[in-house]
Amino acid sequence: MAMKGSSSGSNFNPTLDAGLGLIFRLNYLWNKSDRHALAGEMDQWNFTLDRIFSNLSYRGEMDIVWNDPKEKDPAKQFILDIRLNHHDKLVHDKFKDMLKKIKIKRAIALKRKDKRTWSITQEEEYDLMMKKDIWLRKMMQIQKLYIKESEFDASKAMWGG
């Protein structure tokens, strides 16, 4: 719903403004991600993909674990844990675990001066980052945050216009 009453007299739509802000932020991050990937900057690529994941994870509820969900007295309530939704957390954690194993294998190869294994781990890391990149792009597509190729109105991208 458009809101009136600003000093400039213009109308704005908070939902549209927020949606466009997210789309512009994601496009900026994807641009950075692509530059890091093309430059072979694996750690920077990974960090940027994590920021994209963070921006895509805003939807849905966080899993809040209370000490006693039935407790009515606020003084006796406290939070034990805060988690991402189960599926996204599992996938993201698996990527982190796989990357950690690759980096450990590479460190061992470096220590042993094993050029072959070191080279293989570079390829494994690149392949893993590609999978993470594609997973996040699919996550963005599922949330209908891509602007349609034939659509020139960016405002329609948020809702699949």
Residue 88, judged by CB atoms within 10 A of its CB (0-12, 13-18, 19+), counts as middle
Per run of 10 residues, the mean pLDDT along the chain (length 161 residues) is 44 55 91 97 98 88 84 86 85 97 98 97 98 96 72 56 49
> What pLDDT, on a 0 to 100 scale, did the predictor assign at position 10?
47
Domain locations in the chain as residue ranges? 15-57+86-145
> What pLDDT, on a 0 to 100 scale, did the predictor assign at position 101?
98
Taking the C-alpha atoms of residue 119 and residue 109, their distance in angstroms, rounded to an integer, is 9
CB 129 within 8 A of CB 120: no
Taking the C-alpha atoms of residue 73 and residue 75, their distance in angstroms, rounded to an integer, is 5
